[in-house]
Amino acid sequence: RLKPFNRLQVILQHLKMSKHTDSTAEVLLEKRGGAGIITLNRPKALNALNLSMIQQIYPQIKTWEQDPETFLIIIKGTGGKAFCAGGDIRAITDAGKVGDRLAQDFFREEYILNNAIGTCKKPYVALIDGITMGGGVGLSVHGHFRVATEKTLFAMPETAIGLFPDVGGGYFLPRLSGKIGCYLALTGFRLKGRDVQKAGIATHFVESEKLPALEKDLIALKSPSTENIADLLNSYHVKSKIDQEKEFVLDEHMEKINSLFSANSMEEIVKKLKQDGSPFAIKQLETINKMSPTSLKMTLRQLREGASMSLQDVLTMEYRLSQACMRGHDFYEGVRAVLIDKDQSPRWKPATLEEVSDEFVDNCFKPLGNNDLKL
């Protein structure tokens, strides 16, 4: 029998381990071979990101970054349906309504985590299998490698709930080719499978059933460099045959997207779409008309400014915007219409683009003094 002290040590050790590998934990953090592995583990909630998950992931990334025995970081989701469908919007809404700190803390800590991923010194591999939206995009897109599969469904649907494409959307969206980023941001258009890679959001495409083998090979790499990891991912990518011949879903519309979405104001984009009158343009108009006018104006400016900013400056700007949304009307109304009552008919205030003044939008971008995000 173990001596009492040793037994206590064993129990403590077991508790420590089980906290990280316990199947009920919302996020699993483990070290396998040379890889630190983050597994988002809220399958019933499509692995939506909440504050406690952020608070576990961030220090672990920082620890692995300093650890000479950790050569790469892998992040993935459980359940087969989603990598991560977004942030825990319901909790933020409830908090914002009553002025609870969570409405500040969630965005602050989420953006600090997005920045840690964007500046991570170790190669960071996100396996974005399944739904990857909003907060899930923030956990993946700023890392070195993003591996999409035929099950990947990417979107930044925030303008439909009175928010804006945050988590560094102002950084990566305007850097996609042509005006794709602007189009995705304003309309919330969904990209699927290989198109996520063709749009430049994912770096590689690998069949979903090959991910376990890929992960095993990544873990087995002996002190790999970023190039070694890239070579391994490339070798899987070139062998993936699904939809190999299909052209990019937006190819036929790229000319229109580039001309129609290059206008300087939302009003001008709408005018151009009306003038164009093609089935594609009409469809975009219908979509844009459902979105929060405030969100649309905020988003267009966010992307225009973000195009020439560092990731840190973009996240600082987006934190200001997040708090403007928390103070406003449309976010709560959008969440009500889309997620709570599900009547899909939000009553936006102001209801038209013309009523959203430049002065109001300017105010959303103003520094928050001591409350600004510090990175």
pLDDT digits (tens, 9 = 90+) for 314-366: 999 999 999 999 999 999 999 999 999 999 999 999 999 999 999 999 999 99
Q: What gap in Å lies between CA 134 and CA 157, rounded to an integer?
A: 7
Q: What gap in Å lies between CA 178 and CA 199, rounded to an integer?
A: 10
268 is catalytic: no
- Report pLDDT for 144: 98
Give me Rg for the CA atoms of the chain: 21
- Report pLDDT for 81: 98
Strand partners, 29: 38
pLDDT by residue (tens digit) across 142-186?
A: 999 999 999 999 999 999 999 999 999 999 999 999 999 999 999
- Report pLDDT for 244: 87
DSSP 20-82: HH-TTSSEEEEEETTEEEEEE--GGGTT-B-HHHHHHHHHHHHHHHH-TT--EEEEEESSSSE
110 is catalytic: no
Q: What gap in Å lies between CA 182 and CA 309, rounded to an integer?
A: 16
Q: How far is CA 137 from the centre of its chain?
A: 2
pLDDT tier at 3 (50, 70, 90 boundaries)?
low
pLDDT by residue (tens digit) across 201-242?
A: 999 999 999 999 999 999 999 999 999 999 999 999 999 999
209 is catalytic: no
- In the set 87, 118, 162, 181, the catalytic residue is 87
- In the set 110, 166, 195, 318, the catalytic residue is 166
158 is catalytic: yes
- Report pLDDT for 24: 83
Domains of the chain plus CATH, in order, are 27-371 (3.90.226.10)
- Report pLDDT for 15: 56
- In the set 88, 129, 158, 330, the catalytic residue is 158
Token pair 């973009």 is found at: 314
pTM, rounded to two decimals: 0.93
- Report pLDDT for 31: 97
Q: What gap in Å lies between CA 73 and CA 38, rounded to an integer?
A: 8
DSSP label at residue 265? S
SS3 content of the chain, % helix, strand, coil (to 5): 55, 10, 35
- Would you say residue 18 has pLDDT above 50? no
Over range 276-305, report the average pLDDT: 98
Task: Report CA torsion sign: 201, 206, 210, 212.
Answer: negative
Over range 31-58, report the average pLDDT: 97
Q: Which residue has the higher pLDDT, 245 or 348?
A: 348
How distant, in Å, are the alpha carbons of 8, 37, 78, 181, 312 from that of 129?
A: 41, 15, 9, 21, 27
Over range 55-76, report the average pLDDT: 98
Over range 77-84, report the average pLDDT: 98
